[in-house]
Amino acid sequence: MEQLFNRKYTIQGLFIVLALILLGNLFYIQVGTDKYFTSANNNALRRFYVYPARGVIMDRNNKVLAQNQPTYDLLVTPNEVKDFDTLSLCNVIGISMEDFRKKFHKAVVQSRYQASIFQKLLSVETYASLQEKIYNYPGFYVQQRTIRYYPDSIAAQFLGYLREVNPKDIERYGGYYRSGDYIGKSGIEREYEPVLRGTKGVKNILYNAKNIPQGSYANGKLDSMAVSGDQLISTIDSRIQKLGEQLLANKVGSVVAIEPSTGEVLAFVSSPGYDPNKLVGGNFSPNYLELYANPYRPFIIRPLQGKYSPGSAFKPLDALIALSQGVVDINTTFNCPGYYWAGDRKFKCEHVDGNISLKRGIARSCNTYFYSIFAKLMTKNGSSSASQQATYEKWQNMVRKFGIGDTLGIDLPAEKAYKLFRREDYTKMHGKYWGNTTILSVAIGQGEITTTPLQMANIMAIIANRGYYIKPHVVKGIGSDRHIDPKYKEKHYVDIDARYFDPVIDGMQDAVNSSWGTATESRLQNIIMCGKTGTVQNNRGKNHSVFIGFAPRDNPKIAIAVIVENGGYGGAYAAPIASYITEKYLTDTLTGRRINGSTIDMYKATNLLPELKAAKPATKIINKTDSLHQADSLKKAAPKQAILHNSPFNKTAIKPKNNAATK
Amino acid sequence: MQQQSNRFFFNVDWVTILIYMALCIIGCVSIYASVYDPARPMDFSFATIYGKQLYFVIAGLVVGFSILLFDAKFFSVFAPIIYGVTMILLLVVLGVGRNVGGNQAWIPIGSFRLQPSEFAKFGTALLLARYISTFNVKLNSLRPIMICAAIIVLPMALIMLQPDAGSTLVFLSFMFPLYREGLPGYLLIIFWGMVLLFILNLFLSPALLIGGILALGGLFIYYNRKRQQKIISIAVITLISVGYLFVAKFLFNNVLQPHQRARIELILGLKTDNKGVGYNVIQSKIAIGAGQFKGRGYLEGTQTKFGYVPAKSTDFIFSTIGEEWGFIGCFVVIGLYVFLLLRIINIAERQRSAFSRVYGYCVACIIFFHVFINIGMAIGIMPVIGIPLPFISYGGSSLWSFTILLFIFLKLDSNRMGFI
């Protein structure tokens, strides 16, 4: 009996041990792991997002460039679907039964109990006819959202486009985006994405096991309202933007116009362009692929990425540095016999100007004059290699102040810097001994100088401002208080005294307004336009036509750079196009001027697209100053054309062929 | 009269009654929470299930205190008759019973439904106590053990016919009072060894298991190689075990119902099934896990409230407690049970009469079996066999049968000084 009494402890011990097993398990489930807590929230708690309206983008005159339009998605919750007339639904939304089965299967795989998108981006018409019949299709319903609409169909590369986020974007923005959300992928839509998108609203709704909503979670304490995106007022003037795009139609090239006093970009034309509405809504993918495959590469943002030697357009800058360094004054003359001897090499000039001074040198674009001042500048501290190289280093630093050799920091993505050679770059290239004769072509903006159209326009803004610039930017007001980044108000001085600018501007005025000038095609009535043509050698085809300038001379309102690839002589296309845009901007009218017999419509109609040869992938493209061939090399900053460019040329000698501007 | 009423409540263990009432109140409160709909808060009404449960609790108290009015001798004298009546009810339910959820377990009486299997528990406990307390019965010979087994197996067989596996298994808990009264320990070891082998048989491949048993047998023989008699018995046991494996496999595949097989397989992790049988368990685990340490707060549980956990006010009431009161709440509830059970055992041991002691052990073991299996299935370590959590789960039959079970014991205890 004594023994049996002890069995009490066995049984009580068993109770305690088993109770501890229960408690141990409970401790693991409740405290030891979050797994079940998370599952519980996944079970019952669903987050719904309320999408805010994306910010509207306007031009500088408050004309809408990008707005929103409603579109409709058809959603389906598979377990709510009952038997219905499938064929009639297929007919309404225009898909085949086969597609229907596929899409429905996809929705079932995704979730039986949660709604998923069945058909995206229904048109307003489809929506209207669907709305009448939707009650026939249990389990289907329509959700509204907005997509972009660009009323003027202009400035595609400037505005950019939206696209569904990819996993990388989702990661980069720390979970703000969910699969299926849209994000700005290029242009202003990308740069100002955080401002434009606004903030999504969240609703936390509790669901019961039968998938019926049971009201908001925690009385809506964790819910938030959607906050609309801010509106952006861009600096673009849609009038001249549109005109620029028309003038560059069927041509490869760029127009960049800047308001010198503010750095605001007035026109940003990249040609060939495309209709931005093509990259919106249901046809995004086919259109994107088509544009991507277009051999003229409409996705290159040429104002920021086009890589051009400035050519003669560089000469005003050259002259400014020479003046400020005291190498020449306005009366210093050099003799131009039609060529220039550099050591034993003969560099041709296109015309015989005799004794020529600064003002006329610019107006005539005399190569000999600029070779001479460059040589004089380089040797001013001695003509030994070492001292010339030291002088070069100082010179290139001055050039750099004009925004060459680095990005300008515009508020758009994908801006390219391109390279301005430093002393050590040349030493690497030519060895220890080199001097002005070795690198003479930089004197006329060829060789180891490459710039973007934006940089060229900015140089004109600097000259128009007599010595400073404000970083070019494309947005002049964000949101209701119209603020902008203060860095776009700062003046950047080039450290050249204002008095040196007048002689150079005189020369540029003469280039346009004198009988001997090279840019007479851009002459305007009642407005003093200052400018400079350039003709950039293109080894692959016809030379590129370049014009840079500003107007009016006093208190300039617009600085402009125009590049027309394969346009030949600078006065042939770039100069007249620049003049039309300037005229439109300053007077808001276009007089029916004829330039060398051509009307504006003839310029618009001319087709200068280069003929495309059958693809020859094996051919090495040595000279990539032609934007059609640079796409693959955009990432490499180092120019490779130096060897070929060592032999200089004179732009004016190449007569315009096959264009409307024959004299 | 004064003396008379004193006699009824004299020596009653009020601590046990207090714990009992605490558990009943936790039950009502949890049932209210389990059906509470935040969108439509209801006024109290006896038509709702928590209203009914409150009614059951009050009626239960009346029943319980009525039992205290009985003479203590009544229960030992009438034990065979009570047992007989409950057996008849078990037979009746097979004939006129209403089929609820696949089991023919309910006899409709007016608006209530009576579940005879609940009452069979204390009927069996009484007769078992009566038999064991009979002079000269010692549980170390075959005959008394067989008689005890018969008393237990009869209701099991009748309940199995309903079929209600959960309630059937409850009767296994009578094994422990028998053990206390002298049932040889090795019988228990053999029984649970068979259960263990049965489970392992489902887990492991037959070759591995047979190999393991033979190796173990060989090892025992090696250690007892000097004692011939032991060698023989070990060899016999080994061979019986191997034979048992095949029988067990056959029973599992041919006797158990598919849903029972599925539940056992699920609990052993042989199958995963998140939508079918496993749904209940997974949702219950999620609900309890969601409670974390402090719980979501009373009436704040989402899993139990929004219908993710089925049978949330009956068999899975513990998920409501786990979700809303967290680990702290679970600890308190399990703690109350353990305290109650240890107290019952201690009270049983202070009885002079063997009848009272055996009955006390029966009460403790039945309650414990329910608690362990019920909470075990709510957290996924026991098969879902659908037995209620004593005093807490919704249901009149279950609450009353536990009340009667407990109060008979309290009555016996209050009379511990007298002779039965």
DSSP string, A59-96: -TTS-EEEEEEEEEEEEE-GGG--S--HHHHHHHHT--
Closest listed residue to residue A557, CA positions, set A532, A527, A534, A537: A527
Residues of B whose CB is below 8 A from A213 = none
- Mutation target to probe the B interface, by most B beta carbons within 10 A, among A22, A37, A41, A222 is A22
- CA-to-CA distance for A475 and B43, rounded, in angstroms? 62
Residues A39-87 pLDDT 10s: 777 766 777 777 888 999 999 999 999 998 888 888 887 877 888 888 8
**SS3 of A659, please?**
coil
A315 sits in which H/E element: helix A315-324
Q: How confident is the model at residue B340 (pLDDT cuts 50, 70, 90)?
A: very high
Residues of B whose CB is below 8 A from A16 = 338, 342
Mean pLDDT of A526-547: 87
Per-residue pLDDT at A656: 36
Third-level CATH fold of A238-653: Beta-lactamase (3.40.710)
B242 sits in which H/E element: helix B228-254
Among A11, A27, A43, the residue with its CB nearest the CB of B303 is A43
Q: Give me B342's structure tokens.
A: 């240890």
Residues A326-380 pLDDT 10s: 888 888 888 888 888 887 788 888 778 888 888 998 988 888 999 999 999 888 8
| Sequence-distant (≥ 6) Cβ neighbours of residue A47 within 8 angstroms | A202, A203, A204, A205
In chain A, CATH 3.40.710.10 covers 238-653
Name the most confidently modeled range: A214-223, A444-453, B182-191. Answer: A444-453
Q: How confident is the model at residue B277 (pLDDT cuts 50, 70, 90)?
A: low
Region for A98 from its dihedrals, namely left if φ exceeds 0, alpha if ψ lies in -120 to 50, beta otherwise: alpha
Q: How confident is the model at residue B267 (pLDDT cuts 50, 70, 90)?
A: low
Mean pLDDT of A456-472: 94
Strand positions, DSSP E, A431-487? 468-470, 475-478
Mean pLDDT for chain A overall: 83
DSSP string, B144-211: HHHHHHHHHHHHHHHHHTTT-HHHHHHGGGGHHHHHHTT--HHHHHHHHHHHHHHHHHHHS-HHHHHH
| Nearest CA-CA distance, residue A119 and chain B, Å | 29
Q: How confident is the model at residue A206 (pLDDT cuts 50, 70, 90)?
A: confident
Per-residue pLDDT at A626: 64
Please give the residue that has the higher pLDDT: either B222 or A453: A453
Angle in degrees, CA B384, B388, B392, rounded to 5: 135
State whether B379 and A22 contact (CB < 8 Å): yes
- CA-to-CA distance for A211 and A139, rounded, in angstroms? 13
State whether the Cα torsion A127-A129-A132-A138 is positive or negative: negative
Residues B145-197 pLDDT 10s: 899 999 999 999 998 888 777 888 899 999 899 988 888 888 888 888 888 88
Mean pLDDT for chain B overall: 83
Q: Helix B277-291 and helix B317-349: axis angle, to 10°?
A: 80
Per-residue pLDDT at A382: 84
Task: For residue B290, give the chain A residue with the closest CA.
Answer: A37
Mean pLDDT of A185-189: 92
Closest listed residue to residue A521, CA positions, set A357, A317, A653, A662: A662
Pairing state of beta strands A57-58 and A232-234?
parallel
Task: Find where tokens 């003027």 sit.
Answer: A152
Per-residue pLDDT at A282: 72
Q: At residue A533, does pLDDT exceed 70?
A: yes
Q: At residue A1, does pLDDT exceed 50?
A: no
Per-residue pLDDT at A620: 42
Residues B383-419 pLDDT 10s: 777 788 999 998 888 899 899 999 999 999 988 776 5
Residues of B whose CB is below 8 A from A43 = 283, 286, 302-303, 308
Least confidently predicted of A505-519, B301-315, B372-386: B301-315
Residues of B whose CB is below 8 A from A204 = none
Amino acid at A658: N
Angle in degrees, CA A425, A428, A433, rounded to 5: 105
Mean pLDDT of B100-117: 70
Q: At residue B324, does pLDDT exceed 80?
A: yes
Third-level CATH fold of A47-234: Penicillin-binding protein 2a (Domain 2) (3.90.1310)
Q: At residue B269, does pLDDT exceed 90?
A: no
- Contact of B333 with chain A, judged by CB distance below 8 Å, is answered with no
User: What count of CB pairs under 8 Å joins A to B?
Assistant: 118
Q: Give me A157's structure tokens.
A: 């590369």
User: What is the distance, to the nearest Å, from the Cα of residue A650 to the centroid of all Cα atoms in its chain?
Assistant: 32
Q: At residue A110, does pLDDT exceed 70?
A: yes
Distances (CA, A) of B322 to A30, B326, B328, B339: 8, 5, 9, 19
| Nearest CA-CA distance, residue B416 and chain A, Å | 18
Least confidently predicted of A52-61, A176-185, B63-72: A176-185
State whether A19 and B345 contact (CB < 8 Å): no
Q: How confident is the model at residue A474 (pLDDT cuts 50, 70, 90)?
A: very high
- CA-to-CA distance for B247 and B242, rounded, in angstroms? 9
In chain A, CATH 3.90.1310.10 covers 47-234
| Nearest CA-CA distance, residue A298 and chain B, Å | 53
B278 sits in which H/E element: helix B277-291
- Contact of B365 with chain A, judged by CB distance below 8 Å, is answered with yes
State whether A206 and B283 contact (CB < 8 Å): no
| Nearest CA-CA distance, residue A112 and chain B, Å | 13
Q: How confident is the model at residue B20 (pLDDT cuts 50, 70, 90)?
A: very high
| Nearest CA-CA distance, residue B286 and chain A, Å | 5
Task: Find where tokens 């097993």 sit.
Answer: A21
Among B345, B376, B379, the residue with its CB nearest the CB of A8 is B345
Per-residue pLDDT at B42: 62
- CA-to-CA distance for B372 and A164, rounded, in angstroms? 54
Q: At residue A619, does pLDDT exceed 60?
A: no
Least confidently predicted of A545-559, B301-315, B342-356: B301-315
Contact A494, A285 (CB under 8 A): no
Eight-state DSSP code of residue B45: -
| Nearest CA-CA distance, residue B280 and chain A, Å | 12
- CA-to-CA distance for A178 and A153, rounded, in angstroms? 29
Per-residue pLDDT at A457: 94
Per-residue pLDDT at B353: 87
Mean pLDDT of B64-68: 90
- CA-to-CA distance for A144 and A357, rounded, in angstroms? 69
- Using beta carbons and an 8 Å cutoff, which residues of A are at the interface with B? 4-5, 7-8, 10-12, 14-16, 18-19, 21-23, 25-27, 29-31, 33, 35-37, 39-41, 43-45, 206-210, 214-215
- CA-to-CA distance for A108 and B86, rounded, in angstroms? 53
Residues A235-267 pLDDT 10s: 999 999 999 999 999 999 999 999 999 999 999
Closest listed residue to residue A230, CA positions, set A488, A52, A410: A52
The pLDDT > 90 percentage for chain A reads: 33
Which residues is A57 bridged to in the sheet? A66, A232
Least confidently predicted of A147-156, A638-647, B64-73, B76-85: A638-647
- CA-to-CA distance for A68 and A51, rounded, in angstroms? 12
State whether A44 and B334 contact (CB < 8 Å): no
Per-residue pLDDT at B5: 45
Q: At residue B4, does pLDDT exceed 60?
A: no
Mean pLDDT of A101-116: 80
Per-residue pLDDT at A209: 65
Least confidently predicted of A178-187, A258-267, A648-657, B403-412: A648-657
Per-residue pLDDT at A164: 85
